[in-house]
C-alpha cells in the first residue's frame, strides 16, 4: 500500500501544510481548465493561487482562493515557489519508488 500524500510545511499567515492529493489535482483542473500534467510547463499567477489553495484546504475547508492570494506577496513568493517545488519533487520521487504505471498494466 502506498504512503501518505506529500506534506510540505510553509509559513504564510500562520504555519500551514501544503498537501498534494487527488482532490488537489481535481480542484486545480476544475478551477483552471488546465490538466494537472501541464503544471510543469509553467503557471499563471491565477493558476499558482488555485494550486496553493487546492493544497491548503485540507486544513481549512472554508479557505478561499482570494484569501490564499492575500497570503502571498513579493516578500514570500520565492519561499512559496520553493515549497511547491519541494512538494512536486517529493511527489515525483514517490512515484518513481512505487514503480511505473506500466507495472500495473492488464495482462491478457
How many other C-beta atoms lie within 10 A of the C-beta of residue 16? 21
pTM > 0.85: yes or no: no
Contacts for 68 with CB less than 8 Å, ≥ 6 apart = 12, 49, 52, 53, 56
State the Cα–Cα distance between residues 94 and 92, nearest whole angstrom.
5
Q: What is the span of the domain harbouring residue 79? A: 7-101
pLDDT of residue 46: 95
How confident is the model over 12-35, as pLDDT tens digits?
Answer: 999 999 998 999 999 999 999 998
Instruction: Note whether residue 71 is domain-resident.
Output: yes
- Rounded to whole angstroms, the Cα distance separating 106 from 108 reads 6
Pairing of strands 15-19, 7-11: antiparallel
Domain assignment of residue 61, yes or no? yes
How far apart are alpha carbons 22 and 13 in whole angstroms? 25
**Predicted pLDDT of residue 97:** 63
In a domain, 35, yes or no: yes
Residue 98: pLDDT band by 50, 70, 90 thresholds?
low
* Position 107 in a domain: no
Model confidence at 3: pLDDT above 60: yes
Structure confidence at residue 94 as a pLDDT band (50, 70, 90): low
For residue 82, give the nearest of 71, 92, 90, 70 by alpha carbon: 90
pLDDT, one tens digit per residue, over 37-71 is 777 778 899 999 999 999 999 999 999 999 999 99
Q: Give 75 or 98, the one with higher predicted confidence.
A: 75
Domain count within the chain = 1
Nearest to 40 by CA among 23, 28, 30, 31: 28
| pLDDT for the residue 38 | 77
Amino acid at each position: 500500500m502506498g504512503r501518505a500524500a506529500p506534506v510540505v510545511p510553509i509559513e504564510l499567515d500562520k504555519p500551514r501544510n501544503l498537501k498534494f492529493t487527488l482532490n488537489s489535482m481535481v480542484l486545480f483542473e476544475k478551477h483552471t481548465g488546465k490538466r494537472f500534467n501541464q503544471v510543469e510547463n509553467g503557471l499563471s499567477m491565477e493558476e499558482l493561487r488555485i494550486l496553493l489553495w487546492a493544497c491548503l484546504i485540507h486544513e481549512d475547508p472554508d479557505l478561499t482562493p482570494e484569501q490564499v492570494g492575500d497570503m502571498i506577496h513579493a516578500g514570500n513568493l520565492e519561499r512559496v515557489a520553493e515549497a511547491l517545488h519541494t512538494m512536486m519533487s517529493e511527489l515525483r520521487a514517490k512515484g518513481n519508488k512505487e514503480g511505473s504505471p506500466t507495472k500495473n498494466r492488464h495482462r491478457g
